Amino acid sequence: MAAGQHRQMRLGVFVQTPGHHVGGWRHPDAVTDGWPNLGLMRHIPATAERGKFDMFFLGDGFATGYGEHPSTIGKFEPLTLLSALAMTTSKLGLAATGSTTYAEPYQIARSFASLDHLSGGRAAWNVVTTAYAKSAAVFGRQHPPHAERYAMAEEFVEACRILWDSWADDAFVADKKAGLFVRPGSLRVPSFNGKYFTVEGGLNVPRSPQGHPVLIQAGSSGPGQALASRIADVVFTAQNDLAEAQAFYRNVKAQVAGFGRLAGEVLVMPGVFPVIGRTPGEAKETFAELNRNIDTAQAFTVLSERLGSDMSAHPLDEPVPALPETEHLKSRAALLIEMARREKLTLRQLYYRVAAARGHLLVVGTGTDIADVLETWFRAGAADGFNIMPPFFPGQFDAFVAEVVPRLQERGLFRADYTGTTLRDHLGLKRPARRL
């Protein structure tokens, strides 16, 4: 951060249509054909850009079925959608999830470099290891264990970084008079030989506007934090208790320093699930309506996936039972169990919380109430910003931009306008130099 500048909050919108709440699609104001509705997909980033958001964030997954969360049953392939949205936006960062377990480094490096060019330097890659074993079936593979997935991810990202640095920034001169299309000596042909991935040959995409797309990592387990501290520009995390969020923030920043990086080079952005009303009572009633609309099968699927055990056989109105350690969402399962014990939740109460925020911070109230909570967390050293997870689209996100963003701007916590053009500019991150 330059001298004289004060710390600014970062904001992303995590887009899951028809909404993050399991019952969100049933709300009268929800657009139910969200995922194939390109009009809605244009509306959300336009609203985010009007609100001066840093980025539009797309999750991804591979499984489908009757009992899945509505947002995962049907959805666009994220990079395809973001390529289209690059044409309808000019400032907003465009972040897509890409798996390091079920993809290849060359494919991912080429796709995100292309998006960075198409968007003028606004691409971000959410690096995920793909937690759920059921994803393996559609690829005809065996799902690797947790520790191995993170080892694969570290190799995968390093291979991508080498590929992004194939060409010098000034390689493509296109000198017609001299008959010179590329400058001699500007290509360094990558050679990467790891335990899991091998890459021989350069990337056929010029070095992109940001040098490397912004890297986001969402793992909060021990291996996840270590990976994020080494490779990430942004850490997307689930935290729902202020003291625990502060501890997580301090730990990540300490690990970042341990890898020889500056603390400000990595931004911690917890997810926030806001339910907004014109009055506190209206917000509470909206949340109650959402919970009344929960589909039990879908809610149990979401809960069971997060905890790594089939929860449908357990009594709903008794405390959450002791559960074995899971092999997929280790940190999320631990967070939910700790929340249940800290707040003395029954399984039914946890079921409602997970059907809504899936372990992320849940805030119900007016725009001012939401802004107060975000300010508290931001000033208390629990976050550098937040990834906003509306219960349904477009109404609740429209309300956030109309009711929360102006409160943050009035308090000097969030920008009044963009001052740069790339996502790295928005986030205050340096463009990485080409490694030789």
pTM comes to 0.90
Lowest mean pLDDT among 110-124, 225-239, 285-299: 285-299
**What is the rounded average pLDDT for all residues in the chain?**
90
Kindly give, in sequence order, each residue whose CB lies less than 8 Å from that of residue 157, ignoring residues fewer than 6 positions away: 100, 127, 215, 231
Q: Tokens 């390093």, residue?
A: 158
pLDDT in tens, 217-227: 987 778 888 99
Query: Which pLDDT score is estimated for 208?
Result: 98
Q: Which residue has the higher pLDDT, 5 or 154?
A: 154
Distances (CA, A) of 335 to 243, 285, 323, 329: 13, 27, 13, 10
The verdict on residue 1 lying in a domain is: no
Helix, strand, or coil (residue 359): coil
Per-residue b or e along 26-44, where b marks 16 or more CB atoms closer than 10 Å to that residue's CB: bbeebbeebbeeeebbebb
Report pLDDT for 4: 39
CA atoms within 13 A on the CB side of 115: 30
CB 275 within 8 A of CB 363: yes
pLDDT value, residue 1: 47
Mean pLDDT of 427-432: 97
> Does a structural domain hold residue 88?
yes
Kindly indicate the confidence band of residue 152, based on its pLDDT and cuts at 50, 70 and 90. Answer: very high
The arithmetic mean of pLDDT across residues 278-290, rounded, is 96
Q: How confident is the model at residue 290 (pLDDT cuts 50, 70, 90)?
A: very high
Confidence category of residue 182, pLDDT binned at 50, 70, 90: very high
pLDDT band at 356 (very low <50, low <70, confident <90, very high): confident
- Among 70-84, 281-295, 308-322, the minimum mean pLDDT is found in 308-322
Longest Cα pair distance anywhere in the chain, in angstroms? 80
pLDDT digits (tens, 9 = 90+) for 197-212: 999 999 999 999 999 9
CA 303 to chain CA centroid, Å, is 20
- Does pLDDT of 348 surpass 80? no
- Per-residue pLDDT band for 34 (boundaries 50, 70, 90) equals low
pLDDT of residue 283: 98
**Rounded to 5 degrees, what angle do the CA atoms 119, 120, 124 make?**
60
Q: What is the pLDDT of residues 129-151, one digit of tens each?
A: 987 777 888 888 888 988 899 99
At 69, the pLDDT band (50, 70, 90 cuts) reads confident
Query: Could you list the residue range(s) of the whole structural domain that residue 35 is in?
Result: 10-427
**Span of 38-42, 298-302, 367-371 with lowest mean pLDDT:** 298-302
pLDDT of residue 242: 97
State the DSSP code for 134: G
pLDDT band at 170 (very low <50, low <70, confident <90, very high): very high
**Is the pLDDT reported for residue 326 higher than 90?**
no
Higher pLDDT, 428 or 335: 428
Give the chain's domain count.
Answer: 1
CATH number of the domain that residue 181 is part of: 3.20.20.30
Question: Which burial class, exposed, middle or buried, applies to 434 when counting CB atoms under 10 A from its CB (0-12, 13-18, 19+)?
Answer: middle
Question: Would you say residue 80 lies in a domain?
Answer: yes
SS3 321: coil
Residue 80: other Cβ atoms inside 10 A: 11
Is 5's pLDDT higher than 70?
no
Share of the chain above pLDDT 70, in %: 95
d(CA 67, CA 372): 36
Q: How remote is the C-alpha of 364 from its chain's centroid?
A: 22
pLDDT band at 163 (very low <50, low <70, confident <90, very high): very high
Q: Cβ atoms within 10 A of the Cβ of 103, count?
A: 14
Q: How far apart are CA 99 and CA 405, in angstroms?
A: 32
331 vs 159: CA distance, rounded Å = 26
In the beta sheet, which residues pair with residue 199?
Answer: 192
Question: What pLDDT sits at residue 33?
Answer: 74
Checking if the pLDDT of 125 tops 70, the result is: yes
pLDDT value of position 328:
54
Is residue 422 exposed (0-12), middle (13-18) or buried (19+ Cβ within 10 Å)? buried
State the Cα torsion 417-420-426-431 to the nearest 10°.
-170
62 has a pLDDT exceeding 90: no
The reported pLDDT for the residue numbered 316 is: 74
The verdict on residue 3 lying in a domain is no
Distances from the Cα of 305 to the Cα of 44, 127, 234, angstroms: 28, 20, 25
Q: Name the more confident of 348 and 92.
A: 92
Query: Considering only 8-17, 78-87, 324-333, which range has the smallest mean pLDDT?
Result: 324-333
Q: How far apart are CA 115 and CA 218, in angstroms?
A: 21
Give the pLDDT confidence score for residue 138 in this predicted structure: 86
> What CA–CA distance (Å, rounded) separates 205 from 185?
16
Strand, helix or coil for residue 126: strand
